[in-house]
Structure 1
Amino acid sequence: MLTKKEQRLRRSRQTRIRIATQGVARLTVNRTNLHIYASLISDDGSKVLATASTTQADIRKELGGSGKGATVAAAQQIGKLIAEKAKAAGIDRVAFDRAGFAYHGRVKALAEAAREAGLQF
């Protein structure tokens, strides 16, 4: 029987195989109990083009110190930030890789904020 983490990683692998055939940059999301991370990875998967997370010092100040990175509001802020960084890198179309996490709560908030900021996926 697979553990919860193994099940998530299995789902994540299937998604990445499907995204690899699309030939577009990948917006990957990772969520922990305390923080949320977003990375923009090139279409061939060779390099990270941009990152944003609630562990960054300037974001932590805006969120009000430590322990506030696990909220929907924080995820929305990271979504906007990663979309701005993607635009600056000349990318407006990405594939959303939720890494096996359910499209709900913080993951959904990050995705919707990135869409509102002009990223297409």
Structure 2
Amino acid sequence: MEHALPLLLQTQQAAEAGDFELPMPHAVHRLDYRVGGLLLVAKTRKTEVDLSAQLERHSVTKQYRAILVGNVREKIPTRDRNKPGVASIELPSALMEIQDELHFLDGEIDNKQCLTAMRIVSTTRR
């Protein structure tokens, strides 16, 4: 990966009119850094501004795949419509279709409220 990343960050096309290429790719945000999350990188000023605005509006939707150890079904509740933090969340349409299969974790990280929706795709035995 350390050899591939510089190649992926190379400029591939000229910036749009009214935009300019940054001298070096700029790290805009480290999403979910507490769990080793994704690093957002901008190559142009316009992209940097657009990504920053989306993060400020909280309009970024993240989707992950994870492998967990243990029996998650027993420890994490499904959506409880009576629980204010979970019941009040407006789910994206893709999640509305599978809302009965979702499990939710809610709590605080770094004094910020966070909610994780997850679906168990498959399980195995050790």
Identify whether the pair has TM-score above 0.5, normalized to the shorter chain: no
- Which structure has greater strand proportion? 2
Structure with greater proportional helix content? 1
Q: TM-score, normalised by structure 1?
A: 0.26
